[in-house]
Structure 1
Amino acid sequence: MRTDDPPPTTTGPPPMDLPLKLWLARLSNGLSPVALAQAQADWWLHLLVSPTRQAQLSASALHKAQAWAHYLWRAAQGPCENCVTPAPQDKRFSRPEWRHFPFNALAQGFLLQERWWDEATHGVRGVSRHHEEVTAFVARQWLDMLSPSNSPLTNPQVLQETLRTGGANLASGAANWARDAMAVASGGEARGLQAFEPGRALALTPGQVVMRNHLIELIQYTPATPTVWREPVLVVPSWIMKFYILDLTPDDSLVRYLVSQGHTVFMVSWRNPGSADAGLGMDDYLDLGVLQALAAVQERCPGAGVHAMGYCLGGTLLSMAAALLGARGDPGLRSLTLLAAQVDFQEPGELGLFIDESQIAFLEDIMAERGYLDGQRMAGAFQLINSKDLVWSKLVHEYLMGAHTPVTPLRAWNADATRLPARMHSEYLRRLYLHNDLAEGRYRVRGEPVDLDRIRVPLYLLATERDHVSPWTSVYKLMRLTHSNAHFVLSSGGHNVGIVSPPEGPLASPEASYRVGEWAPRAAPADPQDWLAQAKASPGSWWPHWQRWLAAHSSRRVKARTVSGLRVRGHAVPAPGTYVFDPAAEVSE
């Protein structure tokens, strides 16, 4: 950590400040009002003293108004070609009802307005890049809220449904809204989640807890083949998610797939921290969560190197462990697989909108109340990033159309929020996101430097095309920081769907595809777009490709290992363990 930085705080603001900060947090959903005001002021004041830019924007507004007026005249006479096309991922106006007058004119006017605001919030001389991005983001949120698709009077689909049902859809929508509002106010679970309890409907792959400490349970899964590959697979998921994203149902479980292919699989299940864990830091997560898990796997599979796989922030932590082990000359790792994991946070994507000194200090103040960040606040940030799909589409579907969105295993998992200890979250945001210490060689673990160049084991790096959390171009950068032979795989889909991609069965996606690059140490093109321009897509899931890679980096098959689980009060603890349910689960063995 930089010596001129203040140490991460777990005590928070002075007592007189805390009530005000908590009240502001409730109003702003955890976003710092000061950070937003600074960004808006930076943009507005620089625009105010830029008459040339004002003139350009005025001319653009006039041009777009003329284009819309011309379109309005043509559309009133019959179907005509649009004057502006929505982004490919924008499905708000894709239904046939939006092709008829006057709704097509409303949609085109709105899209032209979006274009203008995008121009207005970018390219103002003197505005910092971060403030520019925040200002553009805030403008998009307001525009998304004001979209004609969100009003029952300007959405043709809602109007047709209202006429067809005599307004019953609006009555059902009001009931849906009241149900959700009561669930939020009471802190209760959303409708339908009770049917997706881990161990009953989800996380069904057989196994046992074989090790437990204050922070993790380590699950070993029961082999499904008479022989297995000698080298086991250790999976380290992110602690901002429950591990069973990788073991949802039998039809889309990556764990079950690996076991069926003859791999011995161990899974880290993170404990959901409480107020007493406020002082746990990044070093604790590395020691208790990765290094102790790795030691336990090596104890149960003596003499065999470990295929270590980390997902999202778990991959970031695992890369630190691999660098430390490489520097120590520890031969414990056989290979390293990182899924949607960043180590260089210079371009962290839209999550970077919420990372600056003001925002981090505000979060530290919020966490001071209980000693942790509630998972619902983290979920709120993800919803803002993808508000079209996660917020406004729900408004239309459930509150205006009166429909019910079915609860799927993935939706149920997504609602199973986790908490983040105050110290760890502060260190994570400051040292990784704000200062990028890991990629720039300043990161230390209990005084020991973490040098990513010390990673020398074969590297399998996977990113997803539409990842809002870990942009693929940011994930790609790791290959330029290590000294490993590397496979880089770009999968279709997003941060979760691109990972949970079964190769066969009822949940296999016919649209799934992936692209592969293979390079010697630091031989990958510096610009990821150069690689993408010539990379060919292969149809199907990336899972079989990864399994073949694991097999190629394994030595031989051995007799399947018996799972000898941890015993608590004389009884084994079956998967999915206890930490996935109870944050206060007993730690003693």
Structure 2
Amino acid sequence: MAETAPNPPHMPSLEDIQHWTWVFGRAQQILLEHGMDLAEHAPAAPPLGAAIDPTAAVRAGAELWADTMALWQRFLDPEHTAPFHETPEQARDKRFKAPEWREQPVFDFLRQSYFLIADHLLKGVESLDGVDPRHKEQLRFATKGFIDAISPSNFPATNPEVLAKTIETGGENLLKGLQHMLADLEKGQLTQTDAQAFEVGRNLATTPGKVVKRTPLYELIQYSPATETVFKVPLVIFPPWINRFYILDLAPEKSFIRWAVAQGLTVFVVSWRSADASMKDVTWDDYIEHGQIDAIDTIRDLLKVDAVHAIGYCVAGTTLAATLAVLAARGQVEKVKSATFFTAQVDFSEAGDLNVFVDDDQLAMLRSLAADGFLDGRYMAATFNLLRGRDLIWSYVTNNYLLGKDYAPFDLLYWNSDVTNLPVAWHMSYLADLYRDNRLVVPGSLSAGGTPIDLTMVKTPAYIQAGREDHIAPPASVWKITHYFKGPLRFVLAGSGHIAGVVNPPAAGKYQYWTSRKRAKTLDAFLASAKETKGSWWPDWIEWIAGQDEERVAAKGARIPGKGRLKPLCDAPGTYVRAR
């Protein structure tokens, strides 16, 4: 008996295609109308050329109509029409990797029409003159989000993979996807990985160590030495309090902490407490005075050393810069031998897409969400997901809800979903004072513990790492640290982004980094003279650390957690990292 050929995916009808063409066209019309409205009400608009060019909308509509007609002609008469030319980015788009998107004319039409409309929508934003720059940036971000949302890959009727899966399973994929969606709605968070596959202390955050101090704000973890001798100057790592610290201690082969211990460093890590109502009055001063400076002094006293090496990651790097300025103003600069900054910003004038979330309306909404004095970490997680909505939202909508796939185990995504709550008083001032008003770079505008902050007083040797593709702390923004610090600086641009650019162990052999011996005034000038090196920048960093002070001592006494005057409270990774 002959085998029955599998049923082909249901093809979208002509009415479906006409409907989506109308949706895309109406979207552009709405965009242009909204842009005109923004221009009309834009504050501080320049007196000349402030009005929208009345021909812009007509020109944009004509170009869209012409391109749409060319698309229809290509669909109806492909043999006598110039082929569609993809950009390199379109060719790499993972949403359209299934062969049906190119081999079946209807799906190929949908794909091409989507790219065409997306291009015109973004061009429409760029063509709007007389719009306040901040409003235009918000409009650009919202447009990109809208474009990601309306992709034909996000809908069952226009995604060939979903259609084929639905026929194959008799709709079981959609039922399973519905269960996934309802579970996510119940917990208020998009599921990105199998949460049962990981456990902190079992297969994440497993580097041996002890909690040697606990305060209402943080736990201090000291890690056990792995070498007979260690550098005399210890290392303290300040991770961002908007995430769990174990991004730097994932699986052993990815752990920066374990690697640093293996290089002969005595490593301490601050594990911040996830906020609750008792932390409603915690402010900037607390993270500097009772967080970073307190941890530095504790380590110096425990090991009887004059100074520490310090690392600040992201927002904790911003705060470390302020801490260095405070210590300099107090004549205590010798407490920090060197400072390393992972994707940290001090000048927020070019802080990227996060700026679109910082205006008076957004701040008022945040305040309304934090009635108990703390902000639920799920809000921040959703915000960061929106910055990469295509990868961190819509890909999971397709895989989890439409295809009904099982969740794949991925340690990085588990960490990404392991949210922390934030003290609302400090978080609001952080957004307003730094992102909105950019006060940290104004000498004396901010203070901590009564000490005015002036970043130009910082002369501590600094290692500044940025990620080439970082969407949270763009490299041009991180570079601005070099405009303020006056001490010896080493700037390193790493391949990849905010996480993978940092968590890149040498054994993986991934990415690359750029360095330059010349002191450059701009990032472009740095890149013009930079040397590319394949692989991880971690070996470059440890060489730089050794260059600051290479003296070593025996790994005994207080260098072993619990053998000094601070007795162990519990094993690493501690209790604060497990609090929910």
TM-score (structure 1 length as normaliser): 0.85
Counterpart residue number, 1:435:
437
- Report deviation, 1:541: 1.1
- Report deviation, 1:84: 5.5
Identify the match of residue 51 of structure 1 among 51, 54, 58.
54
Instruction: Write the deviation string for residues 297-335 of structure 1: whole angstroms up to 9, x where unpaired.
Output: 111222342111000001011111111222333211111
Q: Give % identity.
A: 37
Alpha-carbon distance between aligned partners in 2 of 1:39 and 1:405, rounded to the nearest angstrom: 41
Identify the match of residue 575 of structure 1 among 572, 575, 580.
572
SS at structure 2 position matched to 1:92: helix
Alpha-carbon distance between aligned partners in 1 of 2:87 and 2:550, rounded to the nearest angstrom: 57
- Report deviation, 1:539: 1.1
- Report deviation, 1:70: 4.0
TM-score (structure 2 length as normaliser): 0.86
Counterpart residue number, 1:477:
480
Supply the AA of the counterpart residue of 1:71: R
Identify the match of residue 449 of structure 1 among 432, 449, 452.
452
Gaps of at least 5 residues in structure 2 are: 1-32, 43-49
Alpha-carbon distance between aligned partners in 2 of 1:486 and 1:87, rounded to the nearest angstrom: 39
The answer to whether the Cα contact below 8 Å between 2:516 and 2:529 also exists between their aligned partners in 1 is: no
- Report deviation, 1:388: 0.5
Counterpart residue number, 1:497:
500
Alpha-carbon distance between aligned partners in 2 of 1:153 and 1:568, rounded to the nearest angstrom: 67
Counterpart residue number, 1:27:
none
Alpha-carbon distance between aligned partners in 2 of 1:65 and 1:293, rounded to the nearest angstrom: 62
- 1:133-172 mapped onto 2 (5 Å cutoff): 133-172=137-176
The answer to whether the Cα contact below 8 Å between 1:339 and 1:462 also exists between their aligned partners in 2 is: yes
- Report deviation, 1:48: 8.5
- 1:438-587 mapped onto 2 (5 Å cutoff): 438-441=440-443, 442-504=445-507, 508=508, 510-519=509-518, 523-526=519-522, 528-561=523-556, 562-565=559-562, 572-582=569-579
The answer to whether the Cα contact below 8 Å between 2:35 and 2:128 also exists between their aligned partners in 1 is: no
Q: How many residues in Structure 1 have an aligned counterpart in Structure 2?
A: 536
Gaps of at least 5 residues in structure 1 are: 1-36, 584-589
SS at structure 2 position matched to 1:209: strand
The answer to whether the Cα contact below 8 Å between 2:192 and 2:413 also exists between their aligned partners in 1 is: no
Question: Structure 1 stretch 408-417 or stretch 92-101: which is displaced more?
Answer: 92-101
Change (3 A) 1:200 1:76: farther
Alpha-carbon distance between aligned partners in 2 of 1:541 and 1:188, rounded to the nearest angstrom: 31
Counterpart residue number, 1:278:
280
SS at structure 2 position matched to 1:343: coil
SS at structure 2 position matched to 1:54: helix
The answer to whether the Cα contact below 8 Å between 1:486 and 1:518 also exists between their aligned partners in 2 is: no
Change (3 A) 1:348 1:569: closer
Counterpart residue number, 1:207:
209
- 1:325-364 mapped onto 2 (5 Å cutoff): 325-330=327-332, 331-364=334-367
The alignment status of 1:121 with 2:125, answered yes or no, reads yes
The answer to whether the Cα contact below 8 Å between 1:254 and 1:502 also exists between their aligned partners in 2 is: yes
Identify the match of residue 227 of structure 2 among 215, 218, 225.
225
Alpha-carbon distance between aligned partners in 1 of 2:312 and 2:433, rounded to the nearest angstrom: 20
Counterpart residue number, 2:19:
none
Alpha-carbon distance between aligned partners in 2 of 1:127 and 1:558, rounded to the nearest angstrom: 62
Supply the AA of the counterpart residue of 2:159: N
The answer to whether the Cα contact below 8 Å between 1:234 and 1:266 also exists between their aligned partners in 2 is: yes
- 1:41-440 mapped onto 2 (5 Å cutoff): 41-43=37-39, 50-73=53-76, 75=78, 80-82=83-85, 86-87=89-90, 90-100=93-103, 101-184=105-188, 192-330=194-332, 331-367=334-370, 369-440=371-442
Change (3 A) 1:334 1:425: same
Which of 1 and 2 has greater Rg?
Answer: 2
Supply the AA of the counterpart residue of 1:540: G
Alpha-carbon distance between aligned partners in 2 of 1:282 and 1:63, rounded to the nearest angstrom: 55
The answer to whether the Cα contact below 8 Å between 2:73 and 2:81 also exists between their aligned partners in 1 is: no
- Report deviation, 1:553: 1.4
- Report deviation, 1:193: 2.0
Supply the AA of the counterpart residue of 1:314: A
Alpha-carbon distance between aligned partners in 1 of 2:251 and 2:287, rounded to the nearest angstrom: 28
Report which of the two has the higher share of helix: 2
- Report deviation, 1:143: 2.3
Alpha-carbon distance between aligned partners in 1 of 2:440 and 2:90, rounded to the nearest angstrom: 35
Alpha-carbon distance between aligned partners in 2 of 1:182 and 1:63, rounded to the nearest angstrom: 46
Give me the CA root mean square deviation: 2.7
SS at structure 2 position matched to 1:363: helix
Instruction: Write the deviation string for residues 65-90 of structure 1: whole angstroms up to 9, x where unpaired.
Output: 24423432454789944365645774
Change (3 A) 1:364 1:51: same
Change (3 A) 1:317 1:40: farther
- Report deviation, 1:234: 0.7
Change (3 A) 1:183 1:443: closer
Instruction: Write the deviation string for residues 147-171 of structure 1: whole angstroms up to 9, x where unpaired.
Output: 1111222112222333444444333
- Report deviation, 1:91: 2.4
Supply the AA of the counterpart residue of 2:502: I
SS at structure 1 position matched to 2:338: strand
Question: Structure 1 stretch 388-397 or stretch 138-147: which is displaced more?
Answer: 138-147
Supply the AA of the counterpart residue of 2:116: L
- Report deviation, 1:413: 1.1
Alpha-carbon distance between aligned partners in 2 of 1:422 and 1:346, rounded to the nearest angstrom: 23
Change (3 A) 1:568 1:516: closer
Change (3 A) 1:179 1:280: closer
The answer to whether the Cα contact below 8 Å between 2:342 and 2:466 also exists between their aligned partners in 1 is: yes
Supply the AA of the counterpart residue of 2:106: P
Supply the AA of the counterpart residue of 2:512: S
Question: Structure 1 stretch 291-300 or stretch 91-100: which is displaced more?
Answer: 91-100
Supply the AA of the counterpart residue of 1:201: N
